[in-house]
Amino acid sequence: MFSYRHAFHAGNHADVLKHTVLIATLRHLMLKEAGITFVDTHAGAGLYRLDSDFSDKGGEAADGIVRLMAALRPAEGAAPASHPLIDDYLDLVADFNPDGALRVYPGSPFVIQRLMRPASRDRLRLFELHPTDGKTLSSNVAQLGAGRAVTVTRQDGFEGLKPLLPPPPGAGGSRRALVLIDPSYEIKSDYARVAAVIQDSLKRFPTGTYLIWYPIIGRAEAHDLPRRLRTLAQQAGRPWLHATLNIGHKDLAPGERQGLTASGMFVINPPHTLKAGLTQALPLLRETLGQGRGQAFSVESSA
């Protein structure tokens, strides 16, 4: 417990997939004015320095956001064709790096906060259990001066979510929520807890939008999770979407270690535009971030 630090992984291919899907989903929900409750059950530290010791050691951003930005936003020469979902993601990351050099990577709390609408009274509830990352997150959030619109709780996010659903009604009377569940899966029981919290949440608030990230690794629980989520969505009569990105295995130099190569995002109650958007955007991510054997992407949905 607590050996996972997202700073080693910030901006890697999994973050690229997760945050691209997150932004596309947020944008769609925000087409309606009514306020939204956002819950990030596993928030991380919020902001990451890409030039810190952490990211230097893992270097995972180099094969993720750094490579993507360099390929699609080259310092010199014409930029190749991109896709609106990827452009939206790159614009948001670029916003955190106003002098043009890629030094800061926004984690999910800051991705969400950057798009929140004060006039709609959107609110963001963040949970982070790690003592150090929880403190860093609190101080990063304090600098926003967002008041009660953004809160940080150092509590188990699976537990913290329950009392927040259903969300309170907004000004127009409608209840709206987007929940991101992004555990580190450091503990095997996280897979079962994700399924349990989704089952419970779909009872409390069936119309919420739920985004679940998971790693694609050789472990039965990881393999089963999207199937369990699909079954839960079907049992609740809710639409779902499942997107995966696999960057493949590169030939390793002696002593080099193969990190995570693939991950998935499972979305319950996805925007109806998300499937078409990802079907067009993911080939570009695979092409740009793919690094060897087995690179692939997939998008499947209930509709």
Minimum CB distance to ligand SAM smaller for 105 or for 170? 105
The tally of CA atoms less than 13 A away on the side-chain side of residue 57 is 7
Query: By CB under 6 A, which span of 123-131, 139-147, 232-240, 289-297 interacts with ligand SAM?
Result: 123-131
Q: Which of 183, 208, 271, 290 binds ligand SAM (CB under 6 A)?
A: 183
Q: What is the 3-state secondary structure (H, E, C) of 207-273?
A: CCEEEEEEECCCCHHHHHHHHHHHHHHHHCCCCEEEEEEECCECCCCCCCCCCCCEEEEEEECCCCC
The tally of CA atoms less than 13 A away on the side-chain side of residue 266 is 23
Q: Which of 8, 89, 127, 210 binds ligand SAM (CB under 6 A)?
A: 127
**What binding mask, one character per residue, do residues 142-181 give for ligand SAM by CB under 6 A, x or -?**
--------------xxx-----------------------
Q: Counting contacts by CB under 6 A, is residue 136 touching ligand SAM?
A: no
Residue 55 tokens, joined: 């990211």
Query: Rounded distance, CA 239 to CA 303, Å?
Result: 7
Collect all residues with Cβ–Cβ distance below 8 Å to 255 and sequence separation of at least 6. none
Minimum CB distance to ligand SAM smaller for 197 or for 233? 197
Q: Which of 67, 104, 133, 266 binds ligand SAM (CB under 6 A)?
A: 133
For ligand SAM, the binding residues in 43-62 under the rule CB under 6 A are: 43-44
Residue 161 tokens, joined: 């979510």
182 is catalytic: yes
C-beta separation of 182 from 107 below 8 A: no
Q: Which of 13, 18, 228, 275 binds ligand SAM (CB under 6 A)?
A: 18
Active-site position among 182, 190, 200, 224: 182
Query: Rounded distance, CA 149 to CA 143, Å?
Result: 13
Q: Counting contacts by CB under 6 A, is residue 42 touching ligand SAM?
A: yes
Q: What is the DSSP letter of 293?
A: B
Q: Which of 37, 184, 201, 209 binds ligand SAM (CB under 6 A)?
A: 184
Q: Counting contacts by CB under 6 A, is residue 275 touching ligand SAM?
A: no
Q: Counting contacts by CB under 6 A, is residue 182 touching ligand SAM?
A: yes
Least distance between ligand SAM and beta carbon 77 (Å): 31
Query: By CB under 6 A, which span of 93-101, 122-130, 226-234, 291-299 interacts with ligand SAM?
Result: 122-130
Residue 169 tokens, joined: 């009604």
Query: Rounded distance, CA 51 to CA 45, Å?
Result: 16
Chain positions contacting ligand SAM, by CB under 6 A: 4, 6, 18, 40, 42-44, 107-108, 127-130, 133, 156-158, 182-184
- Kindly list the catalytic residues: 182
